[in-house]
A = this chain, B = another copy of it.
Amino acid sequence: VTGLCRVGLSAQDAVRLAPLARTAERYVAGTEVTPPRAETRRWALVISGWACEMRILADGRRQIFSFLLPGDPIEIAPGDQLGRRSIVALTRLEVIDAGPLLKEDAISERRAFHAALTTALERQRERLFDHLLRLGRLTAYQRVVDLLLELRDRLDEIGLVKSESFHFPLTQENIADSVGLSVVHVNRTLQQLRREGLLDIRSGRVTLLKPAQLRALTGCNEVTATEPSKAAATFLQEET
């Protein structure tokens, strides 16, 4: 039920829908979430654990597109395979099939769930853009910080952050595969952050020691909506 709450459902709706979520699937770290059998698209929800959306290249290198935390929806299309996009558990993982929830009889609960799912998917999409920017325009140092801050914020929303500290099961290799760096360089970057006293990262736990300064590091991508930057204004000259 707590898992359902995390999707963005009210506690009431979550309680009512809970019976439908009996069918939790479990995965071990390193296994792939099974794609749909038929031609149809499949929907599921992460209840506990971490997973990622990734692609594996022929030469063995990997690119992680996104991390999936409790409450995140999973969408798997029939075409999604190893070479395209697969969902892989990074820890022990609990997932429930969203099919029954979407077909729930009670209109209001179904509506609520549908709405929650839609906004969650929308936010997932936004995160892809953030990630694109991270890979395209940020420095290694900034990429790592930016990723950690994203994860902090997402975990915070589902109540898994306590005084800037949270459980962190990612391997340095996972981070590297996400932010497009080599493991060695991720390691050096983390060491620098430690040395500077900005964060503490070790044995499955991260603590942000100076959150404000960390945010300032990647703050270059914050634009005050009320006052578009001069550069932007230059680029977007109005039609004359």
Partner-B contacts on A (CB < 8 A): 27-28, 30-32, 55-63, 65, 77, 81-85, 88, 122, 125-126, 128-129, 131-133, 135-137, 178-180, 219-225, 228-232, 234-239
Contacts and interface: CB of A to CB of B under 8 A. Distances in A.
Contact of A88 (B129, B137, B236): B236
Contacts of A30: 235-237
Given A65-B132, A132-B132, A180-B137, A229 B55 contact: no
A56 B220 contact: no
Contacts of A128: 128, 132
Copies in the complex: 2
Given A31-B239, A63-B137, 12 more contacts: A56-B229, A58-B222, A58-B223, A60-B230, A60-B234, A65-B132, A82-B228, A82-B232, A83-B221, A132-B132, A132-B135, A136-B180
A224 B82 CA distance: 9
A159 B65 CA distance: 31
Contact of A221 (B57, B224, B230): B57
A225 B168 CA distance: 32
A49 to B, nearest CB: 14
A222 B57 CA distance: 7
A137 B180 CA distance: 6
Contacts of A132: 63, 65, 128, 131-132, 135
